[in-house]
Structure 1
Amino acid sequence: MAAKQQLINTNGQPTYGVYPESVDHINYMDFDLRSPMDRKLGSLAKRFKFNQFQFIGLISPKLIVGIAIVDLKVGGNSFIYLYEPETDKFEEFSFIQPFAMNTSIEPFPNDGEASFKKGANKVSIKASSRPGVRKVQVSLAGGVEIDATIDESTSYNPLAVCSRAGYQGWVFTQKSNALVCNGNVKWGGKDYDLEAIDALASVDWSCGYMRRETFWNWGSMSCKLADGRRLGFNLAAGVNETGTSENALWLDGKMYKIDMVDFQFDRYHPNHAWAMRSNDGMIQLHFEPKGQRKEKMNVVVAASNFTQHFGQYYGEIHLPDEVITLDGEWGFSEDHYAKW
């Protein structure tokens, strides 16, 4: 059996850059964490300064679903929202647990479970490398039920990146888009069959010793093209850009790396379109928001100003041997300030 790929090496440091084979174990407790003045920090600091989150997107022209579990140690959070494009129906649910009670994210991106519970509300995201699936289960007191299986065995080629964060920290993220999924979503008296509505999934698994104060802009899309191919991308600016980036595109599972991306938008006019352009010319898109999930939190030790939009992408993607035109494909964008 092959040795498990760990993020932190024997010198107590991560290897920065892109991991072609991903990482099996985020062994963050082996990290040589220090203060800005080089003082070694102990196990308690290592545990409480380590942040984790996982986001699942389920996308089709019939239904948009966002699911997140966040573990910030001082607090745990889970949110779920659902949007039906045909009717403009939208509903969101958000739960907070002080000191991350009943919140857990195991440090195994492809073989671990993330879970959150508050009262009768339960969220679970469980990955298994054999047979290569990620199970998503949501049961809410309000009646929403989600039971989805994401295929991570067919043409699975995630982008796994570790980059520096501030003077002494780092961020690891693993992203994948346009993944085949199946299962059911029960919401508002309707039962959506994910396979029947051509839904595709995106997965964002992130963790690290992040900057005390940070921000990011983000764009994500998954769709089926007219010829049946699966297309998806992950674009970001602001958090993972010290030596590399988390910008990539997947076409039927084949990954294309994308250069730095510039996001142009008006923060104070949330209905205005966004422009996204990459330095290498591959991405020439604009995004039209149709709705949003917004949350602001400002307490003594932490703060967050979070806006995640769902909407439609238009424009061109320039690949080495073809140009793909997007004409209203559904996806996400995000503008986020965080202090933790």
Structure 2
Amino acid sequence: MNGAATVNAAALPPAPPAIVGPDGIPLLGRFAGPAQGLDWARLAPPYARNALWRRLHHKRWHYVALVTEEIFCAVAIVDLGWMTTCFGYAFDRSDGDMMANFSQDGLPGRWSATMANDAGGASRFARRDTHIGIVPIAAGGWELTVHCPWVEIGARFGAIPAPFLLATGLVRGGSVHATQKSGGLPLTGEVRTWRDEYSLDGGVASFDHSNGLLPRETGWRWASAHSLDAGFNLQAGYFGACENAVWLDGAVHPLGAARFIVDRKDIMQPWHIFTEDDCLDVIFTPEAARRETRNLRIAASRYVQPLGTFTGWVRSAPDAPKRAIDRLPGVTEDHFARW
């Protein structure tokens, strides 16, 4: 069972104050609003596991995308329980140059990374000459800072024009998972690379903050794209349709199961993506991709994240009018992890 909820065109209920109830039972479903705590410490049986199992299966990540007409950047901090890692890239959309593309592994615990339990907290990574911070600021919103040999980023994003999506559900082979997704967020700041400096003012940011007790082998396909008035998040894989949603004019609406039609022999060919509830149908045209294949014996990962644009249409319900999407910048992902 993957915990996928039935699609309902009505407004999503507000996010609960905690994702685990006083009885230790997780609150499953899709909600609108920020989570107050993505914390599994109070889980009760049958969802709870022993301490060693939890250490090996607890996975968390904090991902931020930044986009303007000139540049697309993505940065992530990942906590695998037994190790940490980060990655980032900066792509010049005007001439197709991938100006920075880096990753760095770290040690578990506070030696290299600290990870917030929810999007309202701070996540940081520091190892050797790579330092990343995703930190809430007093004025509201967040600040992203990146300092490494390949790129430097100073960005601020928020306040929030559209509600967050909070999705929680069961995962076959694991236990429970929760994810917090944002819609498009107003962006300011600057990106500095070896070649040029880029203003982020007037751009759009979005983030993904996820926290789950996942199976040893986990796979998914993902798509995400946002402007300030429209956007979507789609996943097909370990979490079913739990996190599928569309943002339109300040409201978030649930979507049904997503289908990804892609040539895996040539990932840079166009992708056709649609939902089974007839609420989204888009063509994704890749412009570049970040790829990484790793085999650490005890763990392995096959990962590709193309970035490009989406064209097609979305709507909030099967009987609602279609909203055209024209070259909306975003990403897709095809990922398998044995972790």
TM bucket normalised to smaller: 0.7 to 0.9
TM-score by length of 1: 0.88
Gap change, CA 1:298 and 1:33, over 3 Å in 2 = farther
Using the aligned pairs only, state the percent identity: 25
* CA offset digits 1:255-276 (Å, max 9, x no partner): 1221111111011111211001
Aligned counterpart, 2:193? 187
User: Normalising to structure 2: TM-score of the pair?
Assistant: 0.88
Match of residue 107, structure 1, among 113, 117, 125: 117
Alignment check: 8 A CA contact 2:172 2:238 kept: no
| 1:268 maps to amino acid | K
Query: What's the Cα RMSD here?
Result: 2.1
User: Equivalent of 1:287, from 277, 284, 290?
Assistant: 284
Query: Structure 2: 5+ residue runs without aligned partners?
Result: 1-15
2:156 to 143, 149, 159: 149
Instruction: Answer yes or no: is 1:31 the counterpart of 2:30.
Output: no
In 2 relative to 1, CA 315–104 (structure 1 residues): closer, same or farther, beyond 3 Å?
Answer: same
**Compared with structure 1, are the counterparts of its residues 18 and 64 closer, same or farther at alpha carbon in structure 2 (3 Å cutoff)?**
same
The correspondence of residues 66-77 of structure 1 with structure 2, limited to 5 A, is: 66-77=74-85
1:142-182 superposed Cα distances (whole Å, 9 cap, x missing partner): 3x21111110x332401101110125501100111311111
CA distance in 2, matches of 1:59, 1:253: 19
The 8 Å contact of residues 217 and 333 in structure 1, kept in 2 or not, is answered as: yes
Q: Name the structure 1 match of 2:65.
A: 57
Change (3 A) 1:131 1:80: same
How far off is 1:212 after superposition?
1.7
Q: Equivalent residue of 2:315, what SS? A: strand
Amino acid at match of 1:31: L
Query: For the residues of structure 2 that align with 1:287 and 1:235, how far apart are their CA atoms?
Result: 13
Match of 1:221 in 2: 225
Which stretch of structure 1 is more off in the superposition, 44-53 or 119-128? 44-53
What is the deviation of 1:252? 3.4
Query: Any conservation in 1 of the 2:67–2:200 contact (CA below 8 Å)?
Result: no
**What secondary structure sits across from 1:304 in the alignment?**
strand
Residue 46 of structure 1 aligns to a residue in which SS? helix
The partner residue of 2:257 within 260, 281, 285 is: 260
Letter in 1 for 2:37: H
One of 21, 28, 32 as aligned partner of 1:20 = 32
Does the CA contact (< 8 Å) of 2:223 and 2:330 recur in 1?
A: yes
What 5-or-longer segments of structure 1 have no aligned partner?
224-228
**In 1, distance between residues paired with 2:80 and 2:46?**
19
Contact kept, 8 Å, 2:61 with 2:211, in 1: the verdict is: yes
Aligned to 2:182, the other structure's residue is in SS state: strand
Q: May I ask how many residue pairs the two structures share in their alignment?
A: 320
